Every structure is written in structure tokens, then in C-alpha cells.
Amino acid sequence: MKNRSVGIIIIGIAVLIGFIIFSFNRAMTSIVNASCAHGASCPMWGTINFQTNVGLGIMVFVILVGLYLIFFGKEEKIVTKTVKEQIKPKKITKENYQKVMKDLNNDEKLVLEKIIEAQGTIFQSDLVDKTDFTKVKVTRILDKLEGKNIIERKRRGMTNVVILKH
């Protein structure tokens, strides 16, 4: 909420407090007039004055806070970005993974290239089809890549989804 709006609301609350103080003061004055025969020397009159002054002090303080927010409160600008602007995905290309590929053997490079071509996500069964390696060989290569923290596998039904880590 904007500081100016909050300040106006606070001043409204202060006016409400003032009304309550005024009503309370009138009610107490009529009660004291009816029950206190001593006049101004009665201790109840002192109590009414004290309570009225404390209430007015609180009201003035709240009004000052409201006025400060209206005239001097700094507005905070909230910058909202769309989800696409917040998460800028890195393009999945071979060039971005050249450093990683230097440490891999030829079979591991081929499997990683197929994952990159699939934009970072591919079924393990599709890797078997695209590389012409056996299921066992693909599993062992993926075990090595997963051990090097390059990919991760997640179980999906009867196969695994291979996900490239960024």
C-alpha cells in the first residue's frame, strides 16, 4: 500500500479516537456532576482531566504519524518481472558444454550430444535408439555422467528421463 494512503487511513483513525475521547469526556463529566458534591476539589475531576489529556496526546501523536507518511514518506517502487524475465534459461548448445566434453570419452560425448540435441531432456530408451548402443552400455554411460554430476535420471513409468544439469 502506498504511504500516502496509509497516512490518510491513520489520520482517519486519529479522528475516530478524537470522537471517542470527546464522547467519553462528556459522559464522564455528566457522571461526575451527578455523583460528586465537592465540586472542582473532587478527585474525580482530576481523573477526567488526566484521561482526557492522555487521550488527546495519543490522538496528536497518531495524527503526526499520518501527516509524516502523507508528506515525507518515501514511496517504494515495486519492480515486478514476469516469470520469463526472472528465469532466463541458458541455451542448451554444444558450445556451452565444451569444457565438460573435454573430460569425456567418445561414447560419453556422443550420449551427451544426443541429450543436448533434445534440449536437455530425453527418455533413456530414446538414447538407446539414437546412439545404437545397447541398453546396458547406455545405462553404464549414464551412470558415469551422473557420477560426474552432468546429468540426473528420474524414473518415469518403465523408463528413465535423463535431464541435463545446468
**Tens-place pLDDT, residues 4-14:** 888 889 899 98
Q: How far apart are CA 8 and CA 13, in angstroms?
A: 9
Write out pLDDT tens, residues 59-114.
899 899 888 888 887 766 666 555 545 545 556 666 667 778 888 899 999 999 99
Sheet hosting strand 151-156, strand order edge to edge: 121-123, 159-164, 151-156
Ordered by start, the domain boundaries in the chain are 3-71, 87-164
Of 44-48, 94-98, 119-123, the range with the lowest mean pLDDT is 94-98
CB 141 within 8 A of CB 108: yes
CA angle 58, 62, 67 (to 5 degrees): 145
* Secondary structure of residue 9 in the 3-state scheme: helix
Can you give the pLDDT at residue 93?
Answer: 66
CA–CA gap between residue 40 and residue 50 (Å, rounded):
14
Q: What is the CATH number of domain 87-164?
A: 1.10.10.10
Average pLDDT over the chain, rounded to whole? Answer: 83
